[in-house]
Amino acid sequence: MRVLARTLAAALALGAAAVHAPARAADVTFGALFPFSGQLALLGEESARGVEIAVDEVNAAGGVQGRKVVLARGDAVDNNQAIGEARRLISLEKVVAVFGSYSSARSIAASQVAELSGIPYFELGAVAEEVTGRGLQYLYRTNPTAEDMAKLAVEMIVNKVAAGLGKKPEDLKIGIIYEDSSYGTSVANFQKKFAAGAKLNVVTAQGYPASTVDMSSLVLDLKRRGIDVLLQTSYQNDSVLFLQQANEAGFKPGAIIGGGGGYSMQPTADAVGHKVIEGVLDTDFTQYLVNTKYTPGIESFVAAYQKKYGGLPRSGHSLNNYVGAKLILQAIDKAKGFEPDTIIKAVKGIDVADGVTAVGYGFKFGKNNQNERAAMMGMQWQNGKLVTVYPDSAAVAPMEMRK
Amino acid sequence: MDVFLQVLANGVMLGGLFAIVSVGLTLIFGIVKVVNFAHGEFLMVGMYLTYLAVTGLGLHPFAAVILVVPVLFLMGALTQRLLIQPLLAAGDHHIQIFATVGLSTALINLALLVFGADIANTPSSGLRQPVEIGPVRVLLGQVVILGAAIVLVAGLQLFLARTRTGRAIRAVAQNRAAAELMGIDVDRIYALTFGIGAACVGVAAVLIAPLYPTSPNSGTYFVLIAFVVVVLGGLGSIRGAFAGAILIGLIDSVTGFYVGADMREVAVFGVFLAILILRPSGLFGRQLRLSHVSP
């Protein structure tokens, strides 16, 4: 038994040595921890592509502190593997910092490992509130959150939708529906909070499991209540299902405002039908049909993406990850050395105004190490395309309301 | 009143959907005594095949039956022969369960590899047309699913009751050793039954694909309720599965409308637990038959 154990240990040590081919002295390694396989693979991969393009551009401009940036990928297929891969990146790949993670649950799990090792963790795409606010010193988040998504939806109702429907905001009957995992629930809770703050009349708020195969009873209920504006926070399957069943049951509220996920994706529009989704609003990360004066650099990003991956970006995730990663790498470039505290100090100094980067929103880390200038945008499906309609500075088309 | 009828109609349609997915599962469960956790993934594979047949070959979704059903039959029979059969000797049913869970994960990831995580849309080919029946409104495709579920259940009942093969299948289910002694090729019957069960879910896939987008996870959406339906109806009772499916559909729909969307699962699983406590063998299940326990 002991012999076996010793042989195993030796084999493991050999294996580890073989895997851990030392990076050249001139290189510096960063981790890219995303779900590359499993259910979240599509947008996990999409997010990582943004980071890869940022690294390409930084390397083309001379690298970080004169050293070439190398990305070590970690596949966070589930929460346990996210932890395991974070450990591997830190102890074997010797990364100086980790970029991640698209999924909030993976981010929450993996960032704790990084925190214990004292390695900076930069979250570029996960939206749950709980990612920040856990008192972690080495976790920083660049992207807007669930709270920002809810805030924007309420803002759009008050500033644009109500007038478009010819009613006062407080006279509108608002319905909120959401998939009942932590994502939908947290967005919906913020929607209720902001709606109450704006004195909106929320008539009903109902959760449902994202794996549902039937929403007809919910649709009937919303129809009976005479909902004017419906907010849905959902994934793709339930977005498609709801829009189809609402259409078939003749439920046509003045406005439907979706939250990210399924609502921003072209296959959703194709599945539902362009006629059915026409006029539907959406709150999400910055998308591509946007006023380029507010998002300088977005065109060259799309060009770089097309060149590298041979197709158009599949969602706004790559763009948001790209801008976040690039700003952080540029900030570290100005520092001296790659000690965790040096990196953190450099990143804390980032101060970028709105309308300067390719995502539009600005960057400055505030309370809980969250980017306090991060914001979402409002989009609308018009003629089968998702165009930005809110805020005005980013809009490429006016918001169109059916009365 | 009209709204109530509409809620009931929605419930029956949903029940039809659950029924058609559950029929194959209950057959495999009842005869082969294997809990097939890959059942939902068989459905998913069938939906992708339908998608390919419709978009690639330009077939009407229903015509895809001639392709999907034989492929699924083969898939089921092979699963039994290559995966389950070798494990029967192990004598421990848990191992077969792990094997089907593994098959399920493998199929999901295979689909992710081949098709990606994005949804695939089978053209609805007119099946999303609403049909007005009196005061209620349902989709043509839903009516077809309900009709097909009834035909499938009746057909299987007749097959099991009246044909020689059907009797052999029942004999194996009742007492494997005795059936073997009577000269029935038990292994062949198992493979055949697994194949028929999978073919049933192939029929379901062809009918569901035009109504729901297909993704690698599609199967998981349908299959949890299918397990509830199978247990509720009485393990292995095909009529029971049908009745259980309609019941679950009605509870889901009525609760969703009158109580709230977030209470639907509470109601469904609450009734499920209550029935199991009162009738442990399910709605149509017979009392525990010791003859099931093969030596």
**Range name among A30-44, A49-63, B41-55 with the lowest pLDDT average:** A30-44
Among the listed residues B251, B294, B229, the one whose alpha carbon sits nearest the alpha carbon of residue B39? B229
The token pair that represents A10 in the structure block: 């030796």
Q: Are B32 and B160 in contact (CB under 8 A)?
A: no
Q: What is the CA radius of gyration of chain A?
A: 22
CA distance A344 to A350: 10
Does A47 reside within a domain? yes
pLDDT exceeds cutoff 60 at B108 = yes
Residue B176's pLDDT band (cuts 50, 70, 90): confident
In a domain, A2, yes or no: no
**Are A137 and A166 contained in the same domain?**
no
CB contact under 8 A, B128 and A237: no
- Greater confidence (A380 vs B261) lies with A380
pLDDT in tens, A233-254: 998 889 999 999 999 999 999 9
Give chain B positions within 8 Å (CB) of A246: none
pLDDT at A19: 47
- Expressed as residue numbers, the domain containing A257 is 147-284+378-390
Closest CA to A258 of A140, A314, A176, A183: A176
Question: For the segment A193-212, what is each residue's pLDDT rounded down to a tens digit?
Answer: 999 999 999 999 999 988 88
Under a CB-based contact definition with an 8 Å cutoff, are residues B51 and B214 in contact? yes
A386 and A359 in one domain?
A: no
Instruction: Tell me the shortest Cα–Cα distance from B153 to chain A, in angstroms.
Output: 22
Closest Cβ–Cβ partner in A177, A206, A220 for B6: A220
State the burial class of residue A252 (Cβ atoms within 10 Å of its Cβ: 0-12, 13-18, 19+). Answer: exposed
Rounded to whole angstroms, how far apart are CA atoms B69 and B205?
9
pLDDT of residue A2: 52
Query: Does position A8 have pLDDT exceeding 90, yes or no?
Result: no
Of A63, A103, A83, the residue nearest A338 (C-alpha): A63
Q: What pLDDT does B286 receive?
A: 62
| A69 touching chain B per CB within 8 A | no
- Mark whether A159 and A251 lie in a shared domain: yes
Contacts of B220 (CB under 8 A, 6+ apart): A211, B40, B108
In this predicted structure, the answer to whether residue B190 has a pLDDT above a threshold of 90 is: yes
Specify the higher pLDDT residue, A301 or B3.
A301
Please tell me whether residues A223 and A300 are part of one structural domain.
no
Q: CB of A398 within 8 Å of any CB in chain B?
A: no
**Residue B265 to residue A209, Cβ atoms within 8 A:** yes
Mean pLDDT over residues A354-371, rounded?
A: 95
pLDDT tier at B117, thresholds 50, 70, 90: confident
Are the C-beta atoms of residues B76 and B198 closer than 8 Å to each other?
yes
CA nearest B15: which of B154, B142, B201?
Answer: B142
Is residue A215 predicted with pLDDT exceeding 90? yes
Look up tokens 């579920």; give the residue: B149
CA distance B278 to chain A (A): 28
pLDDT at B281: 83
Measured CA to CA, the distance from residue B283 to residue B272 in angstroms comes to 10
- The band of A14, judged by pLDDT with boundaries at 50, 70 and 90, is very low
| pLDDT of A22 above 80 | no
Angle at the Cα of B40 from the Cα atoms of B34 and B42, rounded to 5 degrees: 85
Among the listed ranges A118-127, B68-77, B220-229, which one has the minimum average pLDDT value?
B220-229
| Buried/exposed code over B193-223 (b: 16+ C-beta within 10 A; e: otherwise) | bbbbbbbbbbbbbbbbbbbbbbbbbbbbbbb
**B112 with A37: Cβ contact below 8 A:** yes
Lowest mean pLDDT among A24-28, A216-220, B73-77, B230-234: A24-28
Strands (E) located in B160-217: none
Give yes or no for residue A17 having a pLDDT over 60: no
Q: Answer yes or no: do B14 and A214 touch at CB < 8 A.
A: yes
Q: Testing the interface with A: which of B10, B107, B228 to mutate, by most A Cβ within 10 A?
A: B10
Question: Encoding tokens for residue A312?
Answer: 């158009």
- Point out the least confidently predicted range of A176-180, A323-327, B118-122: B118-122
Chain B, window 16-45: residues with a beta carbon less than 8 angstroms from a chain A beta carbon: 17
Give the start-end residues of each E strand in A87-152: 98-100, 121-123, 139-141
Q: Are B10 and A271 in contact (CB < 8 Å)?
A: no
- Identify residue A306 by its one-letter amino acid code: Q
Q: What pLDDT is recorded for position A9?
A: 53
Q: Are B171 and B184 in contact (CB under 8 A)?
A: yes
Within an 8 Å CB–CB cutoff, is residue A213 touching chain B? yes
Rounded distance between C-alpha atoms, residue A172 and residue A230, angstroms: 10
Residues A382 and A242 in one domain: yes
Is A306 in the same domain as A347?
yes
* pLDDT, mean of residues B210-220: 90
Please give the residue of chain A at the shortest CA–CA distance from B110: A38
B 143-202 residues with CB below 8 A of A?
A: none
Question: Are residues B215 and A236, on separate chains, in Cβ contact within 8 Å?
Answer: yes
pLDDT at B291 (0 to 100): 41
Better-predicted residue by pLDDT, B118 or B273: B273
Determine the residue among B121, B222, B255 to mutate to test chain A binding: the one whose Cβ has the most chain A Cβ atoms within 10 Å: B121
* Amino acid found at A305: Y
Nearest-CA residue of chain A relative to B122? A271
B253 and A CB contact within 8 Å: yes
pLDDT band at A15; cut points 50, 70, 90: very low
Number of A–B residue contacts, CB under 8 Å? 101
pLDDT number for residue B133: 87
User: Which residue of B lies nearest to A214 if distances are taken between CA atoms?
Assistant: B14
Q: Given pLDDT bands bounded at 50, 70 and 90, which one contains residue A10?
A: low
In a domain, A184, yes or no: yes
Residues of B in contact with A216 (CB under 8 A): 10, 14, 253, 256
The answer as to whether A176 is a domain residue is: yes
Question: Which of A131-135, A300-304, B200-204 is predicted least confidently?
Answer: A131-135
For the stretch A311-357, pLDDT in tens is 999 889 999 999 999 999 999 999 999 999 999 999 999 999 999 99
One domain for residues A239 and A174: yes
A253-272 residues touching B, CB cutoff 8 A:
265, 267-268, 270-271
Can you tell me the distance from the alpha carbon of A147 to that of A144, in angstroms, rounded to the nearest whole number? Answer: 8
**CB-CB contact of A388 with A365 (8 Å):** no
Residues with Cβ within 8 Å of residue A183, at least 6 apart in sequence: A104, A127, A128, A146, A233, A261
Alpha-carbon gap: B284 to the closest alpha carbon of chain A (Å): 26
Q: What is the pLDDT of residue B221?
A: 86
B119 and chain A in contact, CB less than 8 A: yes
- Do A239 and A382 lie in one domain? The reply is yes
Cα(A5)–Cα(A1) distance, rounded to whole angstroms? 6
**What gap in Å lies between CA B150 and CA B79, rounded to an integer?**
27
Q: Give the domain CATH number at A30.
A: 3.40.50.2300
Any domain includes A152: yes
Q: Which tens digits make up the pLDDT trace of B65-89?
A: 999 999 999 999 999 999 988 887 7
pLDDT (tens digit per residue) in A81-108 = 999 999 999 999 999 999 999 999 899 9
A95-to-A57, A81, A142, A327 alpha-carbon distances in Å: 19, 17, 20, 18
Instruction: Name A34's bridge partners.
Output: A75
Q: Which residues of A touch B14 (CB under 8 A)?
A: 213-214, 216
**Cβ separation of A268 and B215 shorter than 8 Å?**
no
Residue A12 lies in a domain: no
Q: What angle do CA A176, A182, A186 make, to 5 degrees?
A: 50
Q: Which residue has the tokens 């539902």?
A: A272
Report the DSSP pairing between strands A377-382 and A385-390.
antiparallel
- State the Cα–Cα distance between residues A291 and A93, nearest whole angstrom: 40
- Strands in A27-34's sheet, in edge-to-edge order, are A68-75, A27-34, A98-100, A121-123, A139-141
B136 touches chain A (CB under 8 A): no
Are A211 and B224 within 8 A, CB to CB?
yes
Contact of A211 with chain B, judged by CB distance below 8 Å, is answered with yes
What's the mean per-residue pLDDT of chain B?
89
Q: Does B215 touch chain A (CB under 8 A)?
A: yes
Q: Within this chain, do residues A360 and A383 fall inside the same structural domain, yes or no?
A: no
Tracing tokens 């704790």 back to the chain, one arrives at A112
Terminal alpha carbon distance of chain A = 78
Q: How confident is the model at residue A18 (pLDDT cuts 50, 70, 90)?
A: very low
Residue A42 lies in a domain: yes
Which chain B residues are within 8 Å of A207, Cβ to Cβ? 261-262
Domain count, chain A: 2
Share of chain A above pLDDT 90, in %: 81
pLDDT on residue A159: 95
Same domain, A110 and A195: no
Contact B109, B42 (CB under 8 A): no
Q: How far is A349 from chain B (nearest CA, A)?
A: 38
CB proximity A70 to B under 8 Å = no
Q: Residue A40: pLDDT band by 50, 70, 90 thresholds?
A: confident
- Residue A5 placed within a domain: no
Chain A nearest CA to B214, separation (Å) = 9
Mean pLDDT of chain A: 91
Average pLDDT over residues B29-52: 93
A55 & A98 share domain: yes
Average pLDDT score over residue span A257-264: 87
Residue B125 in contact with partner chain A when CB distance is under 8 A: no
Residue A170: its H or E element:
none
Residue B294 has pLDDT above 60, yes or no: no
CA distances from B267 to A185, B230, B272, B274, B275 (A): 20, 17, 8, 10, 12
**Could you tell me which residue, B117 or B166, shows the higher pLDDT?**
B166
pLDDT over 70 at A6, yes or no = no
Kindly report the nearest CA distance between residue A180 and chain B, in angstroms.
Answer: 8
Shared-domain flag, residues A88 and A218? no
Q: What local confidence, expressed as pLDDT, does residue B29 receive?
A: 87
Q: Is residue A239 within 8 Å of residue A282, measured between CB atoms?
A: no
> Are B225 and B18 contacting, i.e. CB atoms less than 8 angstroms apart?
yes
